Amino acid sequence: MYIKKDIFEKVVKIRKKDAHKGDSGKVLVVAGSKDYVGAAELSASAALAVLRTGVDIVTVTAPEKVAWAINSVNSDLITKKIKCDYFESKHAKEIIELSREFDVVLIGPGLGREKETFSFVKLLVEKIKKPKVIDADAIKAVDMNKVVNSVFTPHRAELIKLLKNSKIKIERDEDLAGFVKNNILLIKGKIDVIISKKEIEYNNAGNAGMTVGGTGDVLAGLCAGFLAQGNNLIDSACAAAYLNGVVGEKLLKKSGYGFIASDFIDEIPVVLKRLRKI
């Protein structure tokens, strides 16, 4: 079944007039590596996308230099600075403890592929039981069989690595429904495929310009944002894919194929308002 815009009647919450800070969700973004070119921008794109869904609080925890770079370009983002060049296993306890203050954890943008970082990611995703979005380099580190309550957002190459790590062999995307358990796969492509153990949804919103770097980080942020506002995994993944695609379509009409990931950020709330009719 193809995703339709009426999903936003379900996932976009109307705020109460007496709402307090934090009532609309809190997200922790675990991201960044000193040696990863553009790590700060990727981390910021994901975090800003979270905010643009209507979430109240987003904190990016990142290696110190990456975190300072994020702060230097955007004052809307809170950062938790870790004294390291890249995350290692020894940092897992601190981040797991920090995650208890949040509703959702997004792991992956700009993390890099250091062996120790992969060990760190494995500890995080296996120990943190609350809703998670697992994106980018983090996907390459994990065994899906050991993870619960998560949305994975792989493109095709990342999916191959994830399935290899998980010792899963399939011939068709539809076969994955038997392996995801209580997780969701959001497979990015010309047509996005969103797979749960009970259903498979498709998203055809979007265009070829969205192959530009960083749009996947925006997608992960959108997914985390909808999750943090109390939506389930499948609805959050479907809404994120559709919204990301519709924003991409608007940017194509406006700018042609020259748009970049940062262009999405300001357009997200405008398009979301139209889709939800609020």
Going from the N-terminus, what domains does the chain have, and what CATH number goes with each?
Answer: 5-276 (3.40.1190.20)
Residue-level pLDDT at 274: 94
Tokens linked to 1: 């079944």
Write down the pLDDT at residue 222: 99
For residue 232, the model assigns a pLDDT of 98
pTM: 0.97
Query: pLDDT digit string (tens) for 62-94?
Result: 999 999 999 998 889 999 999 999 999 999 999
> What residue ranges in 74-213 does DSSP mark as E strands?
78-82, 104-107, 132-134, 150-152, 184-187, 192-195, 200-203
d(CA 72, CA 88) in angstroms, rounded, equals: 25
